[in-house]
Amino acid sequence: MEQFRVGDKTYQVNQLRHVDDGGSGSVYELGARKAVKIYYDKPSGPQTRKLIHLFDIGGRIGAQANGAAIAMPLEAAIDPTDAAIAGFSMHFMESWLPLSLLNFDTREAHFRERSGFRFNDDSAVGAVFELFGLLAALEKHHIALGDISGKNILIDPQTGKPGLIDMDSVHFEDWESDSQGTPGYVDPHVFDGDLNAVGGYHFDSKSDVFAMTVVAFSLLVGLMPFNFAVHPPPKNKEEFARQRLSSFRIAVEGDACLRSLGLRLPDQDTIVFVQERLAEVRRVKGRSGQDGELLFEHFADVFVRDNRQNLIQLLPEQDNRSPVGAVFERLRTRAVLVDLGQKFADRPRPPAAVAPQTQAVRLTAAARSAKPFLARDPVILGDFLNSRQIDIRAMVS
């Protein structure tokens, strides 16, 4: 391949400036504004075919989220000799910042600033909820990101919106990757399984939730949850994750969990800081009025209870970020339409007319209660609807 086309322009290969190698290809720059990742394999290769599918799915998810959630390549780079996709243009992310550079600074007691952008507690918690919403959207397409870390998440400094890079590690349908994740972010449960056919871990939506929770804790607290000093020191930090020994758990429960394993803290300063910082995060109201409290509960789920439920499942049903809330919003809309149908059915009609067999469906007071019903899986949601004689299949298309 001596040339390729991006959008309506054709470039010679010798116009490229090599930037770095990554995944299954190399990243090159086109002038000052465009970057293209060129893949070594042919367009028929499995890695390129996977990325073509992800390109399409990413566009659909972005449209569903009004373009606010996922950062996927905007333009395909085409080899004009056979009109095949050779790479992907990433020019729109040239000024985006790795999330790992924007974490809370434990010494300065505020978030780090880069290129004039800095989070505050409210915007950082909001970005965390958006990232977990993105995980939920990807799960619907049976996509597991696999290698989630602060370096693989970029932030648009103009809007504060997060996006994802390094799609080479994605597990999607029958495509797997050889990724073994980034140390410190890998769900310990995947360590216990065999490697896949290409030598990577079997990542899934639950391991994605674990890794994203580590990202969230690191962003908001400024420390990795499994990175703290004990005596005697462990062989590696993965042992802390395996035994559910995090600074969050010690901050909440005390150090009894350490003493039971013959470990002790050389000093309490780190744990005291985590306690104070978590108290600040818990006070964040956010869009639900209790986002900080829900995030704290999610940390407890993952780091203490060993539960891998997505954070947004904890949102109250009236919050439009909640999947349960979205279901009930559709149900309410349908109920209004059926109510109108019933009113027309009750109007006097000529004898020959046949009144339609419609029945108004009304949600009970319990369904409208301000106390959220937390649907932790589809079975529970189905039981809830059945108990109120709501036929979800008839009401939601």
Q: What is the pLDDT of residue 12?
A: 67
3-93 and 97-314: identical CATH topology? no
**Per-residue model confidence (pLDDT) at position 379:** 40
Q: How far apart are CA 216 and CA 126, in angstroms?
A: 11
Residue 93 to residue 166: CA distance in whole angstroms: 13
Q: Which H/E stretch holds residue 368?
A: helix 365-368
- Report pLDDT for 162: 86
Q: What is the pLDDT of residue 339?
A: 43
Please, are residues 220 and 281 in contact by the beta-carbon 8 Å criterion?
yes
CA atoms of 397 and 393, how far apart (whole Å): 7
- Global pTM reads 0.74
Q: Which pLDDT belongs to residue 35?
A: 61
**Structure tokens belonging to residue 7:** 């959008």
pLDDT for the residue 356: 40
The residue extents of the domains of the chain are: 3-93, 97-314, 323-347+355-395
Q: Any idea which fold 97-314 has?
A: Transferase(Phosphotransferase); domain 1 (1.10.510)
Measured distance CA(207)–CA(210) in Å, rounded? 5
Low-confidence residues of the chain: pLDDT under 50: 41, 67-68, 333-347, 349-380, 384, 395-397
Topology, domain 3-93:
Phosphorylase Kinase; domain 1 (3.30.200)
Distance CA 98, CA 151 (A): 5
CA–CA separation, 331 vs 321, rounded Å? 16
Q: How far apart are CA 179 and CA 24, in angstroms?
A: 11
pLDDT (0 to 100) of residue 234: 80
Amino acid in the structure at residue 187: D
